[in-house]
Structure 1
Amino acid sequence: MNVETFYDTTTATFTYLIIDEATSKCAIIDPVLDYDPFSGKSSTVNADKVIEFIKSNNLHNEWILETHVHADHITAAHYLKTKVGGKIGIGSGIKTVLSTWLPVFEMCDDVPSDGSQFDVLFEEGDTFKIGDLNVTVWHTPGHTPACASYLVANSIFVGDTIFAPHLGTARCDFPGGSAEDLYNTIQRFFTLRDDTKMYLGHDYPKAGALPLSCISVAQAKSENVQISPSITMQEYIAKREKRDATLAVPKLLLPAIQCNLRNGQFLVSAQTGKPFIKIPVNAI
């Protein structure tokens, strides 16, 4: 297995390309669609880098995998499917997220609440293949109810659950988030072998430093500033909730959530066919 990493500096997001070298099959995890909230313009610069790599290496894409419904970037899943194919998969907890957010954006009439806009809704323990590589789905809630991680060989792609050791863990103050659930999720990660690679969803490096995309379970257990195998749930919850109370709302939350509920598609005007987003006022 080979893992190619793409980093978007604007949203500090990692996109991964998992490649089964024996079959030249691949899967994309957490792709980014570029979006400027000030001008309302979208572009495909980041996604096109992934497409170029796939085509130049004669790969066949089988999956576009989401670790959750992102609040900090718009997914390029739909765009990539039109260009390189692959089934779009997400954890079945998406149905809980849909039930929360569709009424906020008044999208109940134009977005399926059952998650059928995605090709596959993964249940806990589901398995599938990328070429000859075996993948197991873990439901890993806490940051959101829809969070899922993908275990492939000696690697797990954890999305927004745990971060680089100096940053700690994901926030838990979004609707449906739970510090207790995230504590249990990360303690489950700690049951993996110490040499298991954890591929992270984000990193926010200091100026001049390179982003850190991958750590070992051993590093996470011994170095994380917020959680360890020995910290109690009560200690972690208190620390996490204190931190969450100081955090600002992600600047792309409203555009990102409503587009990502549609697997990265904008609302289209019935009158003009133009793409739109909705910005509800004082709704959250």
Structure 2
Amino acid sequence: MSSKPVVKAFWDEATGSWQYVFHDPDTMDGAIIDPVWNYDPQAAATTTRSMGEILAYVEETGIRVAYILDTHPHADHFSAGPLLKERLGAPTGIGDHVVKVQKLWQEIYNLPDLPTDGSQWDHLFADGEVFHVGNIPVRVMFSPGHTLASITYVAGDAAFVHDTLMMPDSGTSRADFPGGSSADLYRSIMAILALPDETRVFVGHDYAPDGREARCESTVAEQKALNIHVKNNVSEADYRAVRDKRDATLPLPKLMLAALQINIRGGRKPDPEDNGRAYLKIPLDYFEPRRS
């Protein structure tokens, strides 16, 4: 049996987001992680370009998709989980702390009828839970800090670390969203860096700094040695000082107020109104103005 899944990465340049398909080469069972439902904010239009790329790859390689997984409710893109479920029939999943994110944003958006029990997904994964994709064990690590609900999927020798670590030259992800915490993020990162050095680390985003090509993969050893925010056994206090200072300069993600409305519904639009069309709400003056 293999403990080394085959990993295929798909980059959405518009949002800097990485999507993944991994599979067990012995059984050809696989899973999709963090699929993007493309959104044009100027036109308020959705398309399925990224999903089409994933479906074409799955069909060409003969992968049987066992799970469609999200690491957290994303603030920078819509999840294509339900759309992929319609095509592939595989169950959707996310971490069980998603209910906290639902309750938080239910209040922000004033959505009293929104179910906040996680029922929009087929399975809510608990910290430490283990499931299998083919013969490959997948362990769930609760990894809060970027959001209240973030999890890491450790599939064999591959860790899908979502928005915790970034590529070493970019450091780590922000912790200033509602429910975020640089203290929690530090502890989550330290738990990831306690994995074996040879563990492959697949990140959730890359913004290709300094014009280099977009990258998605490193190792635990490379992160410990080279990551600009956590190398040299950085202390929690020093890490938090750097992270919090940096976060105070960042504008909010341009798609956040649209994306969270979709993603707390598991990747679905709001119910259509009497004209058959769905609408998004914007909470005016809830957030303070920010300057980059």
Moved more, 43-52 or 183-192: 183-192
Partner of 2:190: 187
Equivalent pairs, count = 283
Partner of 2:290: none
Counterpart selection for 2:97 from 87, 93, 103:
93
Partner of 2:205: 202
Cα deviation for residue 218 of structure 1 reads 0.8
**How far apart, in 1, do the equivalents of 2:154 and 2:29 lie?**
17
Partner of 1:33: 37
Counterpart selection for 2:157 from 148, 154, 158:
154
Cα deviation for residue 186 of structure 1 reads 0.9
**How far apart, in 2, do the equivalents of 1:265 and 1:207 lie?**
36
Name stretches of at least 5 consecutive residues in structure 1 with no aligned partner. Answer: none
Cα deviation for residue 202 of structure 1 reads 0.6
- Secondary structure of the 2:19 match is strand
Partner of 2:146: 143
Aligned residues of 2:136 and 2:155 also touching (Cα < 8 A): yes
Counterpart selection for 1:46 from 39, 50, 75:
50
Aligned residues of 1:203 and 1:213 also touching (Cα < 8 A): yes
**How far apart, in 1, do the equivalents of 2:146 and 2:67 lie?**
23
- Secondary structure of the 2:67 match is strand
Partner of 1:2: 6
Partner of 1:249: 252
- Secondary structure of the 1:46 match is helix
- Secondary structure of the 2:124 match is strand
Aligned residues of 1:26 and 1:130 also touching (Cα < 8 A): yes
Aligned residues of 2:170 and 2:228 also touching (Cα < 8 A): yes
Q: Which amino acid aligns with 2:157?
A: N
Aligned residues of 1:194 and 1:218 also touching (Cα < 8 A): yes
Q: Which amino acid aligns with 2:185?
A: L
* RMSD over aligned Cα atoms: 1.2
**How far apart, in 1, do the equivalents of 2:237 and 2:211 lie?**
37
- Structure 1 residues 266 and 158: alpha-carbon distance in aligned structure 2, compared to 1, 3 A threshold: same
**How far apart, in 2, do the equivalents of 1:21 and 1:115 lie?**
32
Post-superposition CA distance 1:176-205 (Å, at most 9, x none): 111111111111112111111100001111
- Structure 1 residues 230 and 206: alpha-carbon distance in aligned structure 2, compared to 1, 3 A threshold: closer
Aligned residues of 1:183 and 1:233 also touching (Cα < 8 A): yes
Partner of 1:263: 266
Aligned residues of 1:93 and 1:146 also touching (Cα < 8 A): yes
Aligned residues of 2:147 and 2:177 also touching (Cα < 8 A): yes
Post-superposition CA distance 1:5-58 (Å, at most 9, x none): 111100011100011122221100000011011111110000111011112222
Aligned residues of 1:190 and 1:229 also touching (Cα < 8 A): no
Moved more, 42-51 or 18-27: 18-27
Aligned residues of 1:156 and 1:199 also touching (Cα < 8 A): yes
Moved over 4 A (4+): none
TM-score when normalising by structure 1: 0.97
**How far apart, in 2, do the equivalents of 1:210 and 1:283 lie?**
37
- Structure 1 residues 121 and 48: alpha-carbon distance in aligned structure 2, compared to 1, 3 A threshold: same
Share of identical aligned residues, percent? 37
Cα deviation for residue 229 of structure 1 reads 5.6
Aligned residues of 1:160 and 1:170 also touching (Cα < 8 A): yes
